[in-house]
Amino acid sequence: MSSTIITNPIIWADVPDPSVIRVGEYFYMSSTSMHSMPGCPIMKSCNLKDWEIVNYVFDTFADNEEHRLIDRKNIYGKGSWATCLRYHNQTFYLCFSSNDTNQFYMYQTTDIENGEWECSVIPGLHHDPSLLFDNERVFVIHGNGDIRITELTEDATSKKEDGIDQVLFVTEYEGIGLRCEGCHAYHLNGYYYLFFIEWPKFGNKRRRQICYRSKDLFGPYERRIVLDNDMGYQNQGVAQGGIVDTPHGEWYAFLFQDHGAVGRIPCAVPVRWLDDWPIFGFDGKVPKAFEARLPTFESKPIVRSDEFEYEENKLSYNWQWNHNPNNKWWTVTARPGYLRLITGHLTGSVEYARNTLTQRTEGPACSGMTFMDSQHMKPGDYAGIVALQSHYGTVGIRKDESGNGYVEMCVKSDTGEQELVESVRYDRDDIYLKMEFDFKNSHDIARCYYSDDGLEWKKIGISVKLKYTLDHFMGCRIGLFNYATREVGGFADFDYFRYTKLNV
Please check whether residue 283 is in contact with residue 318, taking contact to mean a CB–CB distance below 8 angstroms: no
239: amino acid identity, one letter: A
Q: Alpha-carbon distance 249 to 162, whole Å? A: 39
Q: Alpha-carbon distance 121 to 114, whole Å? A: 22
What would the pLDDT profile of 267-321 be if each residue is shown by its tens digit?
Answer: 999 999 999 999 999 999 999 999 999 998 888 899 999 999 999 999 999 999 9
Q: Alpha-carbon distance 292 to 290, whole Å? A: 7
Bond prior to 247 in cis (omega within 30° of 0): no
503 has a pLDDT exceeding 90: no
Spatial strand order in the sheet of 330-331 = 330-331, 339-342, 491-502, 365-373, 430-438, 445-451, 458-465
The b-or-e profile of 429-442 (16+ CB within 10 A means b, else e) is: eebbbbbbbbbbeb
163 has a pLDDT exceeding 70: yes
Q: Alpha-carbon distance 384 to 426, whole Å? A: 14
pLDDT-derived band at 116, boundaries 50, 70, 90: very high
pLDDT more than 70, % of the chain = 100
Please check whether residue 379 is in contact with residue 400, taking contact to mean a CB–CB distance below 8 angstroms: yes
Q: Cα angle vertex 128, ends 174, 99, to 5°?
A: 105
The contacts found for 306-313 with CB under 8 angstroms, 24 or more apart, are 306/339, 306/496, 306/497, 307/337, 307/495, 307/496, 308/332, 308/337, 308/338, 308/339, 308/494, 308/495, 308/496, 308/497, 309/336, 309/337
Q: Cα angle vertex 78, ends 73, 82, to 5°?
A: 165
Closest Cα partner for 323 from 16, 74, 40? 74
The b-or-e profile of 452-463 (16+ CB within 10 A means b, else e) is: eeeeebeebbee
Taking the CB of residue 69, how many other CB atoms lie within 10 A of it? Answer: 24
372 has a pLDDT exceeding 80: yes
Q: Alpha-carbon distance 249 to 251, whole Å? A: 7
127 has a pLDDT exceeding 70: yes
1 has a pLDDT exceeding 70: no
Q: Alpha-carbon distance 160 to 138, whole Å? A: 9
What would the pLDDT profile of 313-353 be if each residue is shown by its tens digit?
Answer: 999 999 999 999 999 999 999 999 999 999 999 999 999 99
Q: Alpha-carbon distance 380 to 401, whole Å? A: 6
Q: What is the mean pLDDT of residues 107-120?
A: 97
Q: Alpha-carbon distance 235 to 207, whole Å? A: 9
Spatial strand order in the sheet of 393-399 = 36-37, 320-322, 357-360, 477-483, 382-388, 393-399, 405-412, 418-426
CATH fold group of domain 14-292: Tachylectin-2; Chain A (2.115.10)
Q: Alpha-carbon distance 50 to 250, whole Å? A: 18
Q: Alpha-carbon distance 301 to 451, whole Å? A: 27
Q: Alpha-carbon distance 181 to 199, whole Å? A: 10
Residue 50 annotated in active site: no
Residue by residue, DSSP assigns 316-345 as -TT-EEESS--GGGEESTTTTT-EEEE--S
Phi-psi region of 240 (alpha: psi -120 to 50; beta: other; left: phi over 0): left
Closest Cα partner for 268 from 98, 27, 494, 81? 27
Residue 162 annotated in active site: no
Q: What is the DSSP letter of 25?
A: T
Q: What is the DSSP letter of 76?
A: T
Q: What is the mean pLDDT of residues 225-231?
A: 98
SS3 291: strand
Which of 14, 100, 128, 181 is flagged as catalytic?
A: 181
Which of 17, 100, 230, 373 is flagged as catalytic?
A: 17
Please check whether residue 140 is in contact with residue 131, taking contact to mean a CB–CB distance below 8 angstroms: yes
Q: Cα angle vertex 369, ends 366, 373, to 5°?
A: 165
Give me the sign of the Cα torsion angle 445, 53, 370, 494.
Answer: negative
Q: Which sequence spans correspond to the domains of the chain?
A: 14-292, 320-502
> Residue 299: its pLDDT value, please?
80
Q: Is the pTM of this model over 0.75?
A: yes
Domain 320-502 architecture: Sandwich (2.60)
